[in-house]
Homo-oligomer: A and B are copies of this chain.
Amino acid sequence: MRSIAELGEFGLIARTRRAASSGGPSVRLGIGDDAALLRVRRGQDTVVSTDASTEGVHFRWRNAHPRTVGRRAMLAALSDLAAMGARPLAFTWALAAPPSLPLSRFDALLAGLLAESQPQHCALVGGNVSRAVRTSLTLTVLGSVPGGRALRRKARAGDRILLTGVLGASALDRLRAERSGGRIRHLPASRLAAGRRLARTAGVVGCIDVSDGLEADLGHLLGPELELPLEPARLPRAPGFERACARLGVSATELLLRGGEDYELLFSVRGNAPSASTLSRRLAVPVTELGRVRRGSSGRRAGGWRHF
């Protein structure tokens, strides 16, 4: 008997997409991007995305403060809105937890969610609480974007690919916590403001957030027929990153390419798009140009986080 493990996460998503087939009259974009788009109002699209964090998969109580778990879960969910260029409106949460979950942990989880959502004016408007063997947190975020301006996963040969911020910090912190028995401390920066600005910038074509790792998400942005040879030496990283990797005995290149949970924006531009340095000034974040898209798939490798 075949199990879902044989298909893996992306196989299951493709299968779901085929089964769901048709959209409705309001659906502008369905399964397969960072978020879905609904046209509720002329000139404005509603953006919706669902994201889950599960104990033992995405977090472990022994190495993360529950407030950090909440903050990271919210940052991950909001990152999908950022990648669409959307403004957050509201969110719902579904908490599944064992009855023995300490109330202090519930409070800290919730405080963590709100610590990230409130500065973005993203209101908690509902949810669900139910019993489970392990704790999990499912967040559905709603946002809005001017009609037709959402940044989908799009690129073509000749486009330049750019990236906000630096890579590898989240993976490095996770490894450090694992090796030292300490706690996860790193919180990715919110790129909501940068995403909104990108959606209003001429020449910016497509965008994805780096959650599974640069290499995997670049594959999602480009699709099966395009490639971008990555030069590890050109990938942006924090000062002292190599030294920290060497201390832990891990490959810096591995973490930069496949670390994941960076939540930086990876985007495609063409034509009269501004240069990396101009964009960096406008977005008020570092922006690095990674290269130019070409036809082919020779450089492609499977990578990223495997759920099953």
Contacts and interface: CB of A to CB of B under 8 A. Distances in A.
A38 interface: yes
Interface in A185-214: none
Given A24-B90, A52-B130, A19 B125 contact: no
Contacts of A272: none
Contacts of A35: 126
Interface string A123-140: 111111111111010101
A99 interface: yes
A244 interface: no
A46 B40 contact: yes
A9 B96 CA distance: 11
Interface string A107-144: 10011001000100111111111111110101010101
Contacts of A251: none
Given A51-B128, A131-B308, A136-B136, A142 B38 contact: yes
A301 interface: no
Contacts of A95: 12
A282 B76 CA distance: 46
Contact of A50 (B30, B31, B97, B128): B128
B38 A127 contact: no
Interface in A259-299: none
A307 interface: yes
Contact of A24 (B12, B89, B128): B89
Given A6-B103, A19-B110, A125 B38 contact: yes
Interface in A82-106: 89-90, 92-97, 99-104, 106
Contacts of A19: 107, 110-111, 114
Interface of A: 1-7, 9, 12-13, 15-16, 19-20, 22-27, 29-31, 35-36, 38, 40-41, 44, 46, 48-52, 54, 56-58, 89-90, 92-97, 99-104, 106-107, 110-111, 114, 118, 121-134, 136, 138, 140, 142, 144, 307-308
Sorted nearest first, the 9 A-B pairs with minimum C-beta distance are A36-B125, A41-B41, A5-B99, A20-B124, A50-B92, A140-B140, A24-B123, A2-B103, A99-B308
